[in-house]
Amino acid sequence: GAGVSQSPSNKVTEKGKDVELRCDPISGHTALYWYRQSLGQGLEFLIYFQGNSAPDKSGLPSDRFSAERTGGSVSTLTIQRTQQEDSAVYLCASSSQTQETQYFGPGTRLLVL
């Protein structure tokens, strides 16, 4: 079956602009996670969604970052007033239930000039 998909695959933007990243999880997966990988670093947790529960936003680095998950499926991660340090690969993962194995999408490579 189809895996996790993300769009766009690459995004180049100017400092100060807003960007929106999209994630389509595996069909039927109720848990969805966003991570990011900065250059030379491991993956860093950003936010978690599970069904209708309140999301765990504890990993968001600043209030410029927000995410939503509409209808329990597609999720969008929005970064407002982008900064150069936001440049990273943003990865989305989904799992059938919370605490089950997470399956990752290919990521969105964001470059802020």
Residues at the site binding another protein, with contacts judged by CB under 8 A: 4, 31, 33, 35, 40-45, 48, 50, 56, 59, 91, 93, 95, 98-107
Closest CB 111 distance from another protein, rounded Å? 14
d(CA 36, CA 11): 14
Query: Which is closer to another protein, CB of 26 or CB of 80?
Result: 26
- Quote the tokens at residue 102: 């997470």
- What sections of the chain are H helices per DSSP? none
Closest CB 30 distance from another protein, rounded Å? 11
Amino acid at 110: L
Q: Please give the biggest Cα pair distance in the chain.
A: 38
Closest C-alpha to 36, from 98, 110, 103: 110
Query: Which is closer to another protein, CB of 5 or CB of 80?
Result: 5
Closest CB 66 distance from another protein, rounded Å? 18
